[in-house]
Amino acid sequence: MKTILVTGSNGLLGQKIIYALRNKAGVRCIATAIGPNRMTVKDGYVYEPLDITDKEHIQKIVSEYKPDVIINTAALTNVDACETKKSEAIQLNVEAVQSFIDIIREEEKKNPQKKIHFIHISTDFVFDGENGPYVETDEPNPLSFYAQSKYDGELLVQKSGIDWTIIRTIIIYGVVDDNSRSNVVLWAKNALEKKQTITVINDQYRSPTLAEDLADACVSAAMKGVKGIYHVSGRETMCILDMVKIVADFFHLDPSFIKPVSSEELKQPAKRPPVTGFIITKAIRDLGFHPHTFMEGLSVVKDKLEKMK
Ligand SMILES: NC(=O)c1ccc[n+]([C@@H]2O[C@H](COP(=O)([O-])OP(=O)(O)OC[C@H]3O[C@@H](n4cnc5c(N)ncnc54)[C@H](OP(=O)(O)O)[C@@H]3O)[C@@H](O)[C@H]2O)c1
């Protein structure tokens, strides 16, 4: 029996990982998140409230459940908010990572026979976007506070001496149970349904990643025990403007409300890399990763929204 503890289980990726793990043969799944559990399905796993900035509480939960694997999805993920909430970004994206490393080391000292595998989620934003698509060995050069905080978290993991995996990903889309979190697909769909004009960036290129696909890659890393850095994203790299046009087309919405804008005109608070995208060969080989196409992913989103009606 493998005990897998997941942080941020109310988040988009966190929820999908819990759905992939609950009732999985040979797995005991411990979901943790800040405050009450917001997932609709509450069986097949254990839920524990856990604020990852509370080191003593992490220690207590780790001593109690003795996980074999910890998947850390919790983070301050709002890129622009990180520019103003710098101390919160450091607490969540850097210091909390160090807390997990310290606690894992202490647990391993107490019981040297038992290793704890730490799987940490990171981002394409560690790169400056000048030479995408990227492989795992490319040199990061973060442009924003969010990106720097995520990269600092990565460096702590890489130097930790514990068993680790870093899974970097790009623009995650999907639907959470209470529909409380937005992402590029839902934002565009909701605005266009209300016939609101949206300004969409026309000079940044990304590979959108279906949350369910990413969750499967995280579960595969946990089950196979693979270590190192993995790039996990959808296969198609496209301009964000094209992504939104595809969403409009897929959901039969009027594209005339989409107004293209350049990065220079939009002046987002945090600087973004122009072209990312990943080469995912390593994830395909080691994790058995086979992502949906963007069109297939939109069908998954549509089905989930229909089931929630
Ligand atoms: N979203 C993307 O496009 C994207 C792209 C590249 C990389 N990533 C990385 O992928 C990971 C997962 O992203 P996501 O889209 O699933 O993010 P998300 O939906 O924002 O989930 C993050 C979760 O962290 C939780 N959290 C915040 N503070 C916490 C704390 N102190 N203790 C415990 N949990 C806390 C949030 O709780 P509440 O729900 O209660 O606020 C949220 O549920 C992150 O590491 C992110 O950096 C995301």
Ligand 1 center to 76 CA (angstroms): 6
Tell me, what's the pLDDT at 178? 84
- Residue whose CA lies nearest to ligand 1 atom number 46: 77
Tell me, what's the pLDDT at 179? 82
Strand partners, 7: 72
Tell me, what's the pLDDT at 181? 85
CA distance 15 to 104: 24
Distance of CA 192 to the CA centre of its chain: 26
Ligand 1 center to 9 CA (angstroms): 9
| Ligand 1 pocket test target in 73, 92, 179 with most atoms within 8 Å of CB | 73
Tell me, what's the pLDDT at 204? 97
Q: Which residues contact 309 (CB under 8 A, 6 or more apart)?
A: none
User: Strands, DSSP E only, in the chain?
Assistant: 2-7, 27-33, 46-49, 69-72, 117-123, 163-169, 172-173, 198-201, 205-206, 209-210, 228-231, 238-239, 258-261
Contact 172, 300 (CB under 8 A): no
DSSP string for 131-172: S-SB-TTSPP---SHHHHHHHHHHHHHHTS-SEEEEEEE--E
Ligand 1 center to 8 CA (angstroms): 6
Tell me, what's the pLDDT at 95? 98
CA distance 54 to 139: 32
C-beta of 121 in contact with ligand 1 (< 6 A): yes
- Residue whose CA lies nearest to ligand 1 atom number 31: 51
Strand 205-206, strand 238-239: pairing = antiparallel
| Ligand 1 pocket test target in 9, 18, 34 with most atoms within 8 Å of CB | 34
Q: Which residues contact 225 (CB under 8 A, 6 or more apart)?
A: 117, 163
Ligand 1 center to 195 CA (angstroms): 29
C-beta of 215 in contact with ligand 1 (< 6 A): no
The CA R_g of the chain, rounded to the nearest whole Å, is 19
C-beta of 12 in contact with ligand 1 (< 6 A): yes
Ligand 1 center to 270 CA (angstroms): 18
CA distance 132 to 210: 20
In the chain (309 residues long), the average pLDDT of successive 10-residue segments reads: 97 98 96 96 97 98 98 97 98 98 97 96 98 97 98 98 98 92 95 97 98 98 98 98 98 98 95 98 98 98 93
CA distance 77 to 85: 11
Regarding pTM above 0.75, the answer is: yes
For residue 307, which phi and psi values (nearest 5 degrees)? -65, -25
Atom of ligand 1 nearest to the CA of 180: 39
Ordered structural domains, the chain, with CATH: 2-175+207-234+276-292 (3.40.50.720)
